[in-house]
């Protein structure tokens, strides 16, 4: 406005000094008015462009903002969400979504969907391989992305492609590991059955035959001594086979199933100084061997820790299936709880989390939220494995 007043003042001054026709004065006044409004018009245009299209005219500013938001240490799974939020905020697009390569999974979504606008898909590449899709919803009135939009989004897709590729590879690795663990556990179950049914009875029968043969030989004779020695060796071999069978898979799981096995486990830890109660769902579905073994081992390790280190008087074990379709194992106690200062996890604590992780589950060890006394071991385990 100060520029407009300046132009107006100059016009009045010159019109006083120079005698000009009215038509000429009007033309000069119009020209000066246009000149005075140009800066204001430019300001209005830039403001409206920023309001409608965001900061697309300066794509490197958006890239810098994106780099700033990602400079904080964050898991790779959270990067697509941060990218989508930054693009929506900086470009003023209604929504931005990151998909996997086959569009069967949404990695991140930001913004509010509009039904009156179209969507444009941009490929996410890593080393010339398509690894994902960035879907952007156009602004109202747009039919396609213009050059400024594409320049800004090209910088984003170049950075996002390798991240999505890393997420995909990690997911494939997780699925592969779960399949290996599942195959290993099923093979252990088969080996246990074969050893129990195929090797155990013959060894037991051999020992009985040797004992019978020794009983008809002369006492203190060399033949009887040799037969008794062979019988002792057969007994040791039988015990070793039983140990191997038990290490392959807890035999109680095959004998009576997971629910009864966990109930027996809880009862086994009941002592004069520790009362262990259990609430186990009566409607547990048929579970894969990996989930059964992991559940039993985690429960055993948690109860062992309570008995040895917690100084607890009560503990409770709960086993059920939750709404999302996961097996939930939770063991709580009223002991002294976790140390106030973090310390390296013991072998038992690490083992529990690893057992859950390797089959696609999750295990946490925390303090109760109410009074902070005791410990809560909570494992979420899959009902099915790949």
Contacts of 145 (CB under 8 A, 6+ apart): 120, 136, 138, 153
What residue segments make up the domains of the chain, in order of their start? Answer: 2-53, 59-176, 178-251, 255-382
pTM confidence score: 0.61
Q: Contact at 8 Å (CB) between 298 and 379?
A: yes
* pLDDT tens, residue by residue, 47-81: 444 444 445 445 556 666 666 666 565 778 888 99
Q: What is the pLDDT of residues 220-247, one digit of tens each?
A: 889 888 988 998 988 888 888 888 877 7
Asked if CATH classification 3.30.565.10 holds for the domain at 255-382, the reply, yes or no, is yes
- 233 closest CA partner among 202, 206, 195: 206
C-beta neighbour count of 23 within 10 angstroms: 8
CB neighbour list of residue 38: distance below 8 Å, 6 or more residues apart: none
Q: What is the mean pLDDT of residues 160-185?
A: 86
Distance CA 263, CA 267 (A): 6
| Band of residue 45 on the pLDDT scale cut at 50, 70, 90 | very low
Of the candidate CATH numbers 1.10.287.130, 3.40.50.10790, 3.90.1150.10, 3.30.450.40, the domain formed by 59-176 belongs to 3.30.450.40
Please state, in angstroms and rounded to a whole number, the distance separating the CA atoms of residues 28 and 11.
8
Whole-angstrom CA distances from 257 to 81, 254, 273, 293, 321 are 43, 6, 29, 11, 16
Asked if 300 and 352 touch (Cβ cutoff 8 Å), the reply is no
13 has a pLDDT exceeding 60: no
Q: CA-to-CA distance for 341 and 281, rounded, in angstroms?
A: 36
* Residue, of 107 and 116, whose pLDDT is higher: 107
pLDDT of residue 8 exceeding 70, the answer is: no
According to the model, what pLDDT value does residue 264 have? Answer: 95
Phi/psi of residue 9, each to 5°?
A: -65, -40
């Amino acid at each position: 406005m100060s520029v407009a007043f300046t132009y107006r003042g100059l016009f009045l001054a010159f019109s006083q000094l120079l005698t000009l026709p009215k038509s000429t004065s009007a033309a000069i006044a119009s020209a000066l008015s246009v000149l005075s409004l140009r800066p204001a018009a430019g300001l209005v245009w830039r403001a409206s462009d920023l309001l409608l299209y965001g900061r697309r005219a300066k794509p490197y500013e958006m890239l810098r903002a994106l780099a700033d938001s990602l400079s904080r240490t964050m898991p790779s799974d959270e990067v697509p969400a941060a990218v989508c939020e930054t693009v929506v905020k900086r470009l003023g697009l209604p929504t931005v979504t990151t998909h996997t390569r086959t569009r069967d999974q949404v990695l991140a979504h930001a913004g509010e969907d509009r039904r009156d606008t179209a969507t444009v898909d941009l490929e996410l590449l890593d080393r010339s391989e398509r690894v994902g899709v960035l879907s952007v919803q156009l602004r109202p009135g747009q039919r396609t992305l213009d050059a400024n939009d594409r320049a800004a989004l090209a910088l984003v897709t170049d950075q996002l492609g390798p991240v999505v590729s890393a997420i995909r590879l990690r997911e494939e690795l997780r699925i592969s590991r779960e399949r290996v663990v599942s195959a290993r556990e099923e093979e252990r179950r088969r080996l246990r059955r074969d050893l129990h049914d195929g090797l155990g009875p013959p060894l037991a029968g051999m020992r009985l035959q040797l004992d019978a043969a020794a009983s008809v030989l002369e006492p203190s004779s060399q033949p009887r001594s040799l037969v008794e020695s062979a019988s002792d060796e057969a007994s040791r071999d039988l015990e070793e086979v039983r140990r191997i069978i038990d290490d392959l898979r807890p035999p109680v799981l095959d004998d009576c199933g997971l629910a009864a096995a966990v109930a027996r486990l809880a009862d086994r830890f009941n002592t004069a100084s520790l009362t262990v109660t259990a609430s186990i769902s009566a409607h547990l579905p048929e579970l894969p061997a990996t989930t059964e073994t992991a559940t039993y081992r985690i429960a055993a390790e948690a109860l062992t820790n309570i008995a040895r280190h917690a100084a607890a008087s009560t503990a409770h074990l709960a086993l059920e299936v939750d709404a999302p379709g996961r097996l939930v194992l939770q063991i709580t106690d009223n002991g002294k709880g976790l140390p106030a200062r973090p310390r390296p996890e013991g072998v038992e604590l690490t083992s529990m989390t690893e057992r859950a992780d390797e089959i696609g589950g999750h295990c946490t060890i925390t303090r109760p939220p109410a009074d902070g006394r005791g410990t809560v071991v909570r494992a979420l385990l899959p009902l099915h494995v790949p």
